[in-house]
Amino acid sequence: MSNKSNMNRDLFVMDFVQFVSAPQTHAKRVRKIKKTMETCPTNLTETQWMKMWRGFYYAIWYSEMRKGGEELIEEMGSYQNESYLLSGFKSLAEDWNGIDAFRIDKYMFLMRHLLRNVIKQQIAALLEDKVLFENSPFLSEIKKAASSTSKSSDQTNGTTTTLERKSLVIDYIVTVASGSVGYFLHLCDIYMDELERCINELVEKDTDKSEVYYHMMIPFARKLSTITDERLRRSILKMFNQLFTEILLTASISMRVDTVSKFCDPLVEIASHTDSGKNRNCLYSLAERVRSQVQTLTSSRKDEKKALKRKVVGIDRKTKKVKYEVATTVPFVRSLVPLPLM
């Protein structure tokens, strides 16, 4: 019975791939894809899903952006099926180098929509304190790696530091993408824009935003410990630079301090378990930069509080010096305490 069921699934996959890869009208391909996603068996294996993506790959290959191709890609990027999404990132990584320059824009467009879809689901899972797609077979290897490195002991002080792995899906995407340089570079190019967009859309509290930024970015720091290609290393560092100097620039000082400080200890811990000396030094440098920024922001926050307490009243006519006052925070009451002239 099991062999018969598996044969039926193989026939389902084969029928889909053969239909969409053969000469067809765009409308027929769209109908086939919609029907396939509606009637798709829930127990397809990883191998069968990868074969399914051969059909999706050719459907986009034959479509024209000006004649319904854009709408098709947007719809394909919105499907919520976890195996479909995870196998999609893996399939694109494997085929990225074989896409010609005249069609690459379509697959870049698809990748952006797939990434946006996953980021939204990952943020929702983080806010609910859940692990997205936890039982997916595609994440089995990532889960094994997470379980082996989740806890580490610091022999110098006897403490134990825990690296939380709530964003296994992002770990998976980063891992499969790193197998193709061009694919990974494109991921780094669009990731921060999509992350900022989704956080502003879905997260309201600053404390939650800090938590989400941390869990969505720490997988790239983990990948930084194993990278051998200098181009990939620079791309990851550029992402952290964009986070610290551009995205958080308009946030409150409290949120910036909270977000940046979350990376200090994890970066040091990741560096301490890194075999490559170059990657280790890179992580330590990043951690030192983060620590320095935290100190700068903390002092800025203190200066900001002082500035709230002391306000300029005017200039003394005789001495020509600035006169300050301390204002209370009691509503509708202006209570002034003159300070010495400076």
Helical H segments across the chain, by residue range: 2-21, 26-39, 46-62, 69-76, 82-95, 104-127, 140-149, 168-177, 181-202, 206-224, 230-245, 253-261, 264-272, 277-309
Rounded CA-CA distance 165/318 in Å is 65
Q: What is the pLDDT along the chain (342 residues), one digit of tens a residue?
A: 466 677 789 999 999 999 998 888 889 989 999 999 999 988 899 999 999 999 999 999 888 877 778 999 999 999 999 999 999 999 999 999 989 888 899 999 999 999 999 999 999 999 999 999 988 999 988 888 777 765 543 443 444 455 678 899 999 999 999 989 999 999 999 999 999 999 999 999 999 999 999 999 999 999 999 999 999 999 999 999 999 988 988 888 888 899 999 998 999 999 988 888 889 999 999 999 888 888 888 876 555 555 445 555 556 666 656 555 555 444 444 444 444 444
Rounded CA-CA distance 12/6 in Å is 10
- Beta-carbon contacts of 308 under 8 Å, excluding residues fewer than 6 positions away, are none
Query: Could you give the angle at the alpha carbon of 254 between the alpha carbons of 131 and 280, nearest 5°?
Result: 60
Rounded CA-CA distance 64/113 in Å is 17
Is residue 321 helix, strand or coil?
coil
Q: How would DSSP label each residue in 161-185?
A: EE-----HHHHHHHHHHTTSHHHHH
